[in-house]
A and B are shown apart, each in its own frame.
Chain A
Amino acid sequence: MGKRWISWFAALLIWGVIANGAWAFSKPTEDSDIDPSLFRVDEQKYMGVKFGNEVTLLDEKGAPLKFADLPNLPFILVPAYYTCDGACFNIGIALKELLKEVKALTAGSGFNVLFASFDKNDTTESLGKFVKQLDLPDDPIRGWRFTRFENAETLQSEMGKVGYKFFWSPRDKTFFHPTLILILNAEGRVARYLNVLNVSAKDIELALLEAKSNQFRPSETLDYLVSLCYSYNFKEGRYTLSIPVFVGLGSFLLGIGLLVGSLGIYRIYHRKHINK
């Protein structure tokens, strides 16, 4: 009797485990709070839009900073917030590592990086803590600026102008936001959107060169010419080699080759003819 009871209990337990597992697997996953597609930016719609005309930022020391006060260089705009315990820090670290590999341009002289916090609760202290955590190499940090929006009301609309969306989740007590960085030209117009966690240093370099195409220096000519061999792939969100450029170049050389070749052939033919 005792053994039978144990067998029944074991069988019930096993069935229970299986049924529970089956139920767990069959149960549809609850929808995420935020649909990721909400964050997608229709890039072609926002390219060339001027950012930050109306905005006053507060710099690392809390002093007002206008976009017009920034050096006349293209810049990487990094929307983030400094108390973020997830993506923002990773964005900063990823950008720091990628920019080490960017050879054509140097932060500070060729471009600037501008962090702009969209959290109205960010303070000079939270900003300082964030910067310290990033552990950037130089002191003072060349070309990197960390700012907050002075006016929280203009913040959402200004970011919305360039298609960047973010949401505060009271339940999670966090902002939901994409891991996008914006490459802006010196005028503040959007030249490219890049997902910093999904691009290479070459992509950032090419985007910066593209943003700088109006004002590159003679020493950057070669880099600019190389950048013309790439085109941005909207589908993949990165730069790819532009095959038609090479086909065009090859066919251009073919024309010259044909001339040289035919002159050579005629010379050989003519000599043979004379010898005969």
Chain B
Amino acid sequence: MSTVSSGFKLGEWIFTTDHKRIGILYLIGSIAAFAVAGLMALLIRLEQATPGPTIVSDAFTGGDQYNVWLYFHGAAMILGFLIPGLTGFAANYLLPLMIGAKDVAFPRINALSVWLFWAGIVVALLTFIVPDKPDVMWTGYPPYSVTTAGNTALYVFTVHLMGFSSILAAVNFLVTIIYMRAPGMGWNQLNMFVWSCFTALLIQLIFVPVLASAVTLLLFDRYLGTHFFDPANGGDVLLYQNLFWFYSHPAVYVIFLPAMGIFYEIFATMAKNPIFNYKAAVYGGMCFIVVISGEVWIHHLYYSGMPDWLRLGQMVTTLMISIPVGLMTISLFGTLYKGAITFNTPMYYGTAALYLLLIGGLTGIPLAMTAMAVHLGETSFTHAHFHFIMGIFATFAVFAGVDFWFPKISGRMLNEKQGRLGFWLNFIGVNITFWPLFIIGVEGMPRRYWDYSQFPSHFAGYHTVATIGAFIVAAGMVLTISNWIISAIKGQKASDNPWGSNSLEWTHTATPPGPGNFPKPVTVDANWTPYNYR
């Protein structure tokens, strides 16, 4: 009996403890969050298409409306789409299959985790119903979040639900990887995606509770009259920023690492090559990121006042991130070297990701350097940078991952033409959207402004181009997601291993895999690797 072909029964899906179904529930929830957050992005871009009020009602309330869009876009994209899309959907569906396990260590906790995530999505969507809509960005900085008339509680509860969900998921997968690997499977035989999830979830588990406690104290300040972040009464407003970024910078790696893991799997399979410099990429790349990820958050506070030695130290550690990322990038390129590369839609996304990694990485260097960051940090240059390296890179990873494992998940092949068309629209649209923002960012266009009429008039042209780009991306997204839905219903039947992969989820399971995943227990020998293509 397979996951998706046993006929649809709602009760089975609600009470399921099967990791594959839970993964699909994560995918549906995260794509829903992505769709609404994407609509917010279009509203933001439409508003910025011209200086002054464009689609907001008037100049007086325009900022309030715009802030709500910004809030939902940021919070839903990061907490509702990127993190759950990668560590929720992809990890849930693939991780047990890749290590030869029949399920996760704690299946019921896994089910609780997905429903907490869904509750978080519902609470986030209440934004559009309540009269006092939250308007605190995804950061919730006090004192604004404490004094605003907006509903800060919705923001806090969304973080709580999503955060608790991700803590449970992290506990589950870490235990699963440590204890439930197939007999004979050593640490150096793990898929890169498994390693990437292991390191990302380690970061997630250690740092998420700090964010949860910070927003809880924020809730107390807002509604119970405490003064944890009120300097006039003995609180420390900067402490919130420290606690927030102590989690939220490592959260970048929670997104980045599984995204890299997905591209590793695609590259190795499509190039029919083993992973280049496997150990360097795992230990020097992923594991080193875990070590260093908790020591760089202060670069988000360069402008908040700090001792010079700390600023200098943070500049060094932030730049040091380029070492593990560089190792992993070299490993990705090396994996393609002399490979017999099959260029299909997942590989298109993979190739584009190399470009995004390059541009996003290079534009991160000036932002790591204090002198440059003071000028660029609060401009649309930063906005474009993190969309390249985090937003678009990870979104392409989710799309590439769904496309790559689509035959395994649905038992059907994607429409390749529609997939490619969607890719090209996405790729071209992203560049049209964000390159203008790099340019006007350097010229001083601030982030988060809904009205920029007090800035040089030629900014308007760049904003208009960026808005056109956003609509091209939207068309690409619609094509991509509709391709999944249509192909899942009437796509061509897929074979068990259409890409000729050596990984366990392709070689040892049916398509789609049934309950228990494997017809018989999996064992591997010391010579087995998922990348044995030579």
Contacts and interface: CB of A to CB of B under 8 A. Distances in A.
Interface of A: 44, 213-215, 231-236, 240, 242-245, 247-248, 250-252, 254-256, 258-259, 262-263, 266-267, 270
A248 B210 contact: yes
Interface residues of B, number: 39
A132 to B, nearest CB: 39
Contact of A255 (B179, B209, B231, B234): B209
Contacts of B83: none
B213 A247 contact: yes
A256 B228 contact: no
B399 to A, nearest CB: 30
A103 B405 CA distance: 63
B470 interface: no
A254 B209 CA distance: 7
A234 B175 contact: no
B234 A244 contact: no
Given A235-B232, A248-B214, 11 more contacts: A233-B233, A234-B232, A244-B236, A248-B243, A252-B206, A252-B246, A254-B209, A255-B167, A262-B106, A262-B174, A266-B175
Interface string B198-229: 00001001111110111011000000000011
B105 A252 contact: no
A259 B205 contact: yes
B209 A252 contact: yes
B71 to A, nearest CB: 23
Contacts of A44: 231
A119 to B, nearest CB: 34
Interface string B476-487: 000000000000
B213 A231 contact: no
Interface in B316-330: none
B235 to A, nearest CB: 7
A255 B217 contact: no
B302 interface: no
B179 A214 contact: no
A231 B307 CA distance: 16
Contacts of A270: 179
B36 interface: no
Contacts, number: 97
B392 to A, nearest CB: 29
B240 interface: yes
B215 to A, nearest CB: 11
A248 B246 contact: yes
B213 A250 contact: yes
B103 to A, nearest CB: 13
A92 B405 CA distance: 76
Contact of A252 (B179, B210, B233): B210
B174 A214 contact: no
A232 B234 CA distance: 6
Contacts of A240: 234
A67 B27 CA distance: 65
B233 A244 contact: no
B205 A252 contact: no
B178 interface: yes
Interface in B297-353: 307-310
A251 B167 CA distance: 12
Contacts of B310: 213
Given A251-B212, A254-B209, A262-B174, A233 B234 contact: yes
Contacts of A245: 239
Contacts of A234: 231-234
A235 B233 contact: yes
Report, nearest first, the 8 A-B pairs whose CB atoms are least far apart: A233-B234, A251-B209, A251-B213, A231-B236, A255-B206, A213-B307, A262-B171, A214-B307
Given A233-B234, A250-B213, A258 B205 contact: yes
B151 to A, nearest CB: 22
Contacts of A213: 307, 310
Nearest to A262: B171
A63 B269 CA distance: 81
Contacts of B242: 248
Contacts of A256: 205-206
Given A255-B167, A263-B175, A231 B239 contact: yes
Which of B172, B216, B243 gathers most chain A CB within 10 Å?
Answer: B243
B214 A258 contact: no
Given A231-B236, A235-B232, A255 B210 contact: yes
Given A234-B234, A258-B167, A258-B205, A244 B175 contact: no
